[in-house]
Amino acid sequence: MTVRLGDHVVRAGGALEDTRLVTTTSFTGNEQQRSLFPGERSHRRFYTGTCIDDVAMPCDVTTASQLTYRTVYAAIYAEDTFTLMPGLSIDAGLRGELMWVGTRLHFSSELAPRAGVVWDVLGGGRSRLWASYGRSFAMLPAGLGTTVIQRDATVEDFELGPASGRVHDAGSAFLVEPRVRPITQDEVTLGAQVVFTSALRATLWGQGRWLRHGLETTAEAFENPGGHGDIAATRETEVVALEVEVRRPATVLRAGVMWGRTVGSWAGPFDPRQGANFLQGADWDADASNLYGPLPTNLGGRVFAEAERRATLGEVELAVATRLTAASGRPRNALANGIDGIVELLPRGSAGDNPVVTQINLRVAARWRGVDVTLDVFNLFDRRDVTNLDEIYSDDLVRPISGGSASDLVFLKSEDGSAAHRRTAFQLPLAYQAPLSAALGVHKAF
């Protein structure tokens, strides 16, 4: 709902979303058979109801496991945009949210204030200064149900020569800490844009985002890590960017430079090393002393240049555009398969950066009698820059080097006191930039 009251534009509204995710999991042939050595075999199946670790007792096995996860999201908001004078507008609002995942994880008092101001200092649309502040709360997807609601219940019957046995897993979810708090992010943006001539404009802006109360599983429960002497789950991002644009009747040129950093201890629900972990990653399962540092999304430096040219050849409208980018590589880690699994040997991101990644893309488009044809070419010069390296330094049972540096790795000791063995694959390339590719499209509206 939107209402204009003099110099005020007032908006109010709400939203409600009730989601159910139903998953069905099954094994080909109704069971999973495994054998580690001759004479040993296990049969893994799903079950419902009750089951105990006694092969002589019945167990309600089933050919598939079906689970239902329910999430509820609701929000109401009110906003007022006030024109203080021509060219100067102020906006303020408040949003209240509710997020529930099943019956065990409830966030019901999420208040998110917003405020902003925009000012045309020079007048006539020739400039713009703006500042804004907002608080937001991370959405909790239904997929989080595997962490806090229920997992598939399985039973494994095994045979070892003449002996047999059974192990079952009820699929219980993680215990939810009673005082758990929602993932909270505060964001501040400042910017300025100046139109020097009808063809030239420049934009400078900066942004900061600070995230608190990250959610993750620990050895104790599903919680906000940091309550048991561990480092807290936080993340902060700062970005500064400058863009210059030259616009002519048939030609547009843009160029810009950006610098930013993302540091903290919480990579979020997706980590390039662990994949989509539904907030049950391994970072806080044991020693968290080296978790703080540049995160995989750390921006570093980035430059770009774009050009677009339009022309007409008879009845055919033509357009050609290209984009050149150069970006810093991802921060490197030094990891080990330690006593507690994968551990950060050194503070996160302190083992250097991957190589700079460059790319040129090209688009050629044409329109003739209502038919649009486009050709997109990615990585035009087939650059094969390295995008990721092997980060496992050692497979020995080792402990993290708290606050250490790369020069300390040669002194790393195993649990038995001997020198740790360095893997020959450490820092060898694992992934490269996608090769030259093209996509051709034809579109006709009838």
Using alpha carbons, select from 231, 135, 214 the residue that is nearest to residue 180: 214
Q: Round to whole Å and give the CA distance between 34 and 36.
A: 7
Sequence-distant (6+) residues with CB within 8 A of 144 are: 69, 71, 101, 105, 278, 279
Q: Which two tokens stand for residue 119?
A: 């000012």
CB 10 within 8 A of CB 79: yes
| Bridge partner residues of 192 (DSSP) | 129, 204
Distance of CA 89 to the CA centre of its chain: 34
Rg of the chain over Cα atoms, rounded to whole angstroms, equals 28
Q: CA-to-CA distance for 262 and 364, rounded, in angstroms?
A: 36
Closest Cα partner for 380 from 394, 405, 366, 363? 363
The amino acid present at 27, given as its one-letter code, is F
Q: Is the four-CA dihedral 398, 400, 401, 404 of positive or negative sign?
A: positive
pLDDT at res. 425: 93
**Alpha-carbon span 333 to 347, nearest angstrom:** 8
Query: What is the DSSP-derived secondary structure letter of residue 176?
Result: B
3-state DSSP assignment of residue 20:
strand
What is the sign of the dihedral through the CA atoms of 204, 210, 216 and 222? negative
How many other CB atoms are found less than 10 A from the CB of residue 1?
8
Which pLDDT value is given to residue 343?
84
Closest of 248, 386, 379 to residue 323, by C-alpha = 379
**Entry pTM:** 0.84
Question: Three-state SS for 263?
Answer: strand
- As a whole number of angstroms, the distance between CA 41 and CA 31 comes to 12
State the first-to-last Cα distance of the chain, in angstroms, to the nearest integer.
36
- 347 CB-near residues (< 8 Å, 6+ apart): 290, 292, 293, 403, 404
| E-assigned strand segments in 149-285 | 154-160, 163-169, 184-195, 200-212, 216-217, 222-223, 235-247, 251-264, 270-271, 275-276
Helix ranges (DSSP H) in 192-296 = none
Burial (0-12, 13-18, 19+ Cβ within 10 Å), 51: buried
Nearest CA among 233, 339, 231, 223 for reference residue 289: 231
Beta pairing partners, 81: 9, 91
pLDDT tens-digit profile, the chain (446 residues): 899 888 889 999 999 999 999 999 999 989 999 888 888 899 999 999 889 898 888 899 999 999 999 999 999 999 999 998 889 999 999 999 999 999 889 999 899 999 999 999 998 889 999 999 999 998 888 889 999 999 999 999 988 888 889 999 999 999 999 999 999 999 999 999 999 988 999 999 999 999 999 999 988 899 999 866 678 999 999 999 999 999 998 999 999 999 999 999 998 888 877 788 888 888 888 778 889 999 988 999 999 999 999 999 988 999 999 999 999 998 999 998 876 778 889 999 998 888 899 999 999 999 998 899 999 999 999 999 998 899 999 998 888 888 888 889 989 988 888 899 999 999 999 889 999 999 999 998 88
**218-249 in b/e burial notation, b at 16+ Cβ within 10 A?**
beeebbbbbeeebbbbbbbbbbebebebeeee
Cα–Cα distances (Å) from 244 to 180, 196, 249, 257, in that order, read 45, 11, 17, 9
Q: What is the pLDDT of residue 400?
A: 87
Domain boundaries of the chain, sorted by first residue:
1-173
Indicate if the alpha-carbon torsion angle 263, 265, 270, 275 is positive or negative: positive
For residue 266, the tally of other CB atoms under 10 A from its CB is 28
